Structure 1
């Protein structure tokens, strides 16, 4: 897709992070942007930034992607407003942590409903619009945790591996059509996803806050850089979009050592836990009662 000027792009998870940065960047290309999220306040802020950037048109829809009926209604709204979309970016997602044995079924379902089923609902609802275009793009966001298994991340890895498998199969189904299918693997991007993470297991609020702080410190790529990478991928019709040097390294590890990368991941996880144990509690969080 050589130009996105006057194209209509729908983005889920547009109230913050990568979704917001991508929306603003696309608006600067004079694209029409449809912003979907369950956070109306964040949507309003993103919409204001998009209008300031010169978006040809900006629409906001408060949508919970875990609800199929809500996503279907949003897709119909795009037909009514724009006649359909040219690009769909399924970006909405949540984070969760919990080692197996501590991970609850509720957390696993919550993670899958948003991260995986949200992508499925978006793809199914908007696909009829995409295939009617001479040229269109479907972009689904997975994660580097969709490339490797990570301790304490069974629910999150399951959801992101599922996005990967679903998207790669959809790409095969759409061969010969005008729809390019891109799968995004972000590494550590500075978003607020960890701030809203669910934690299962015996972890105090102060320990959870230290974990969030440590994760935040490991996120080296800005949302704006991530948005640029996705935009390049849409233009090139790239099947895979790696975001960040960490994503490149993890992808290489998974490709070169698919059966033996476990030891490298375990060593990295042990170093992270040691760093976490040495960390001071964040200011104002207090220490655990002894």
Structure 2
């Protein structure tokens, strides 16, 4: 796909990978619908994206855990842009390492809703718009935890395996349409996701979000006859 003048919806766009992929898309000339909870950070990304050349950038403060907020956000995006060719489901949170019985009930709900259910609702509501385009792409951000068992990550891993299953079924459901689907499965990424839970790792050897964003740009820009169904990234 030629990204220039396309419209991309990016969830989790306020920081980390979501921010970096938004800036890469801006540099390629895409218009952006930036979705995340933190409006202040979204506006900072908007300013950077505009400086890099994005022709149109609009921020949509939205809690991806809240399906009503997602619904209203998609409605606004359709009115504001009319068309969307790219959906990048990046939003997600970390589950602090713990045995299952020691994970608080609220954390279980938050992780599942942020990392899986919100993605499903966003995609479900965006699909009618994507199907109207000559070509469209969905990329779901999973994790290494979506393909391997990671101790202490029962809920996070369940959500990421869910993303994998969801993506695989979408591929089948959409294989005869104009919408291509893929997932990216990366190892530890150097973002604030872990620190937000109070967990601190040595992230020196983690993948940089800028590097991961370059991988996603590579996936998006393959010719129409070539598609990378899944990509695993390790540092």
CA contact (8 A) 1:6 1:32 kept: yes
Give me the whole-angstrom Cα distance separating, in 1, the residues matched to 2:231 and 2:46: 26
CA contact (8 A) 1:230 1:241 kept: no
- Identify which of 224, 229, 253 aligns with 2:210: 224
Give me the whole-angstrom Cα distance separating, in 1, the residues matched to 2:233 and 2:59: 26
Q: Which residue of 1 aligns with 2:30?
A: 31
Q: Which residue of 2 aligns with 1:243?
A: 233
CA contact (8 A) 1:21 1:223 kept: yes
The count of corresponding residues between Structure 1 and Structure 2 is 230
Helix, strand or coil at the partner of 1:182? strand
**CA offset digits 1:99-123 (Å, max 9, x no partner):** 1221232211110011001110110
- Identify which of 213, 216, 227 aligns with 2:201: 213
CA contact (8 A) 1:66 1:121 kept: no
CA contact (8 A) 1:37 1:64 kept: yes
Higher RCO (C-alpha 8 Å, min separation 6): 2
CA contact (8 A) 2:12 2:91 kept: yes
Give me the whole-angstrom Cα distance separating, in 2, the residues matched to 1:191 and 1:176: 37
Alignment of 1:71-90 (within 5 A): 71-90=70-89
Report the structure number with the largest CA radius of gyration: 1
**CA offset digits 1:101-154 (Å, max 9, x no partner):** 212322111100110011101101101001111100011110001111111100
Q: CA RMSD in A?
A: 1.2
Q: Which residue of 2 aligns with 1:7?
A: 6
CA contact (8 A) 1:142 1:183 kept: yes
CA contact (8 A) 1:182 1:234 kept: no
Does residue 167 of structure 2 align to residue 167 of structure 1? Answer: yes
**CA offset digits 1:54-87 (Å, max 9, x no partner):** 1011110000111111111111112111112110
Give me the whole-angstrom Cα distance separating, in 2, the residues matched to 1:47 and 1:162: 31
Give me the whole-angstrom Cα distance separating, in 2, the residues matched to 1:83 and 1:106: 37
CA contact (8 A) 1:90 1:119 kept: yes
Give me the whole-angstrom Cα distance separating, in 1, the residues matched to 2:65 and 2:58: 20
Identify unmatched segments of 5+ residues in structure 1. 198-207, 246-290
Alignment of 1:1-290 (within 5 A): 1=1, 3-97=2-96, 98-197=98-197, 211-214=199-202, 216-219=203-206, 221-236=207-222, 237-245=227-235
TM-score under structure 1 normalisation? Answer: 0.77
CA contact (8 A) 1:144 1:186 kept: yes
Helix, strand or coil at the partner of 1:96? coil
Give me the whole-angstrom Cα distance separating, in 1, the residues matched to 2:42 and 2:104: 31
Displacement after TM superposition at 1:230 (Å): 0.6
Identify unmatched segments of 5+ residues in structure 2. none
TM-score under structure 2 normalisation? Answer: 0.94
Helix, strand or coil at the partner of 1:79? helix
Give me the whole-angstrom Cα distance separating, in 1, the residues matched to 2:122 and 2:205: 30
